[in-house]
């Protein structure tokens, strides 16, 4: 998967998840630095309908597995720092 | 919801999600700084079985809505910094 290609494919994602991977919408999760395999699985489940979310089911429906993998790679590649509790 | 109480309730969560909210398991997502309402919804869906994941369906089954809300508050309260792409 290609994070650089993914960055060019996230036009539909940005309104809710940001270019920086931080949520812009109280129903949308942050994606910055998220585990890549988790994101791929989530996207594949949204595409197949196994996981239900109206917006996500619609936006993933016509995307290729390669597109989904590249998008996951992009968001996962964003570096995050955590301030330990 | 009470993040401080939540910190005392995440014993079962830590092996995969960490006390710091960073994944310790390639199948588990980071939770640090995640949107609180998103986490609550995810936990409620795992508890009801609407969202399928064997481990999460088991661990949420006997937890109260208050426990789930407190746990979500704890993980959401962890501060994160994102390095802009």
B49, B57 Cβ separation under 8 angstroms: yes
A27 part of contact set with chain B, CB < 8 Å:
yes
Q: Does residue A55 carry a pLDDT above 80?
A: yes
Task: Give the A:B interface size as CB pairs under 8 Å.
Answer: 89
B28–chain A Cβ distance below 8 A for any pair: yes
Residue A44 covered by a domain: yes
Paired tokens of A32: 């910055």
**Chain-centre distance of CA B68, in angstroms?**
8
B56 lies in some domain: yes
Set of chain B residues whose Cβ sits within 8 Å of the Cβ of A38: 23, 26-29
The whole domain housing A16 covers 3-77
The percent of residues above 90 in pLDDT, for chain B, comes to 96
* CATH, residue A64: 1.10.760.10
Q: How many domains does chain A have?
A: 1
Is position B84 within any domain?
no
The tens digit of pLDDT for each residue in B18-35 reads: 999 999 999 999 999 999
């Amino acid at each position: 998967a290609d994070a650089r290609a993914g960055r060019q494919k996230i036009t539909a994602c940005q309104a809710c998840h940001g270019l920086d991977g931080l949520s812009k919408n109280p129903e949308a999760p942050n994606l910055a630095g998220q585990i890549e395999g988790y994101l791929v699985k989530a996207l594949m489940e949204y595409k197949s309908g196994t996981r239900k979310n109206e917006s996500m089911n619609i936006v993933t429906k016509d995307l290729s597995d390669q597109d989904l993998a590249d998008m996951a790679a992009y968001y996962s590649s964003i570096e995050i720092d955590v301030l330990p509790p």
